Structure 1
C-alpha cells in the first residue's frame, strides 16, 4: 500500500498483551462482590476492547449484576496498582513494526480507549513512547470506540485524508470505529472467537509480523 502516510494503532491486545492482565484483575472483584465466575474466554468474548461503561452495562444485562461505574473504577484501579501494569508484555513484533514504520518515514499515532496514565506506564516501561506522534486516549473524546470520534480526532491531528491512513485493531469494537471514520483497517487476533467477529476489517492477520509485510 504505497500511498500510506500514517498508521494509527490500537493499544490493548494490538500492541500490548494486556487482556489477561485486565481479566485477572476483574475476575476476583466479580467473584468476591457478585459471586460471578467468568473464564478468560468469556472476557475475550464479552469484555475485551470495550469501555468501563459498556462492561458495567453488560454485567447488568447479561448477569443481572447491578453495580456502578464508580465502584468498578475504584476496585479495578486498586487491583491494577497492586498488580503493576509494567508487567504487561508487548504483543509479538510490536517493537519491530514500530521500528520498521519509523525507518520508512511513516507517521505513527495511537488511538485507544485506555487512559493516558496507562499509555505512559506501559509504553513508557517498554521505551516506546517516542515512536508516536500523538496519543488519542479515553479522556480526550466524548464518545469512545465503537464511535468513530477517536479515529476522526486522530485524522484531524494527522491532517491527512482517510485513504492515506491505516488503522490496526484487534476487536470488532475498534474495527467499527476505524471503518466509521472511513479508514482502511487491518485486524490482528489469534483468538478464534474474536476472529469470527472481525469480518468488517479489510484484512485479517494472526500477528503483527504478517502486518509488517503488508503495510
Structure 2
C-alpha cells in the first residue's frame, strides 16, 4: 500500500494495555454476583474488544445468566472509579509510533468503543491527546464495532480517500469494522487465539514497533 496520509488507531489493547484492567474489574462482579468464574484467557477469547452491551448479551445467551445491562454498567463503572483508570499503562512502543506517524506528516484519528471520558482520562494521563485530530467514541455512534459506522464517521471527518487511510486494530471485532468500511487494516496482537480470528486483516503483526516499520514504508 502506498500514499498513506492518515492512520486511525483503536484504543483498548492497541495503544493502551487495558484488557487486564477490564478483566480484573469484571471478574469479581461475575463471580460474586452471578457465580461465574472466568480467567484472563477466557476474557480475551470471549469478551475483549466488545462493548458492554454485547458482553451482557454474551453472558445471557452463551453463559445462560440473567444479567441486566444497566446493573452491569453501574457495577463496572463503580469498580473502574475505585481502580483508577489513570494507572492503565501504554502498550509497548505506543508513544514511539505516535511520534513517528505524526512526524511523517500523516493525520491521526482515534476510533474506539470506549467513551470520551475514558479517552480523556487515560490518554490525558499519558499526555497523548494532542496527537489526534479527532476522536470517534462510543457516544458518537448508534452502532459500534464490529459495525463499520465508527470508521465511516472517521472517514467523513478526514475527508480524504479511503485508499489513503490505514487502520490499526488488535481484535477481530475492530478489524471487521475497518474492512467493512472499506479500509486497509493492520492487526497487532501477540494473542494466538486472536490471531486465528484475524484472517481478514491485511497484515497481522506482533507489536507496535513492527507496525511502525510497516507504516513508515507506506510512502
For Structure 1 versus Structure 2, the TM-score category normalised by the shorter chain is over 0.9
Aligned residue for 2:143, secondary structure, equals coil
- In the TM superposition, what is the alpha-carbon distance from 1:76 to its structure 2 partner? 0.2
Structure 1 ranges of 4+ moved more than 2 A: none
Moved more, 62-71 or 133-142: 62-71
Q: Work out whether 1:72 is the aligned partner of 2:43.
A: no
Q: Which residue of 2 aligns with 1:54?
A: 54
1:134 & 1:184 partners in 2: Cα distance? 19
Distance 2:162 2:180 in 1: 11
Distance in 2 between residues matched to 1:66 and 1:13, nearest whole Å: 28
The answer to whether the aligner puts 1:6 opposite 2:6 as a matched pair is yes
Matches within 5 A, 1:175-186: 175-186=175-186
C-alpha RMSD of the superposition: 0.6
> Aligned residue for 1:105?
105
Q: Secondary structure at the match of 2:4?
A: coil
Q: Tell me if 1:191 matches 2:185.
A: no
CA drift at 1:61:
1.2
Displacement of 1:63 in angstroms is 1.2
2:62 is paired with a residue of what secondary structure? helix
| Secondary structure of 2:3's aligned partner | coil
Answering whether residue 130 of structure 2 is matched by residue 119 of structure 1, we say no
Per the alignment, residue 86 of structure 2 pairs with 86
Gaps of 5+ in 1: none
- Answer yes or no: is 1:34 the counterpart of 2:48: no
Deviation at 1:2, TM superposition (A): 3.6
Q: How far, CA to CA, are the matches of 2:203 and 2:91 in structure 1?
A: 19
Q: Distance in 1 between matches of 2:56 and 2:114?
A: 16
1:168-188 CA-to-partner distances (Å, cap 9, x unmatched) read 000000000000000000000
Work out the CA distance in 2 between the residues paired with 1:16 and 1:185: 18
Matched residue count: 215
- Measured in 2, the distance between the counterparts of 1:52 and 1:89 equals 21
Structure 2 unaligned spans of 5+: none
TM-score, normalization by structure 1: 0.99
CA displacement, residues 62-84 of structure 1 (integer Å, 9 cap, x when unaligned): 11111111000000000000000
Name the TM-score, length of structure 2 as normaliser.
Answer: 0.97
Q: Deviations over 1:113-169 (max 9, x none)?
A: 000000000000000000000000000000000000000000000001111000000
Which residue is 2:152 aligned to? 152
Aligned to 1:21: 21
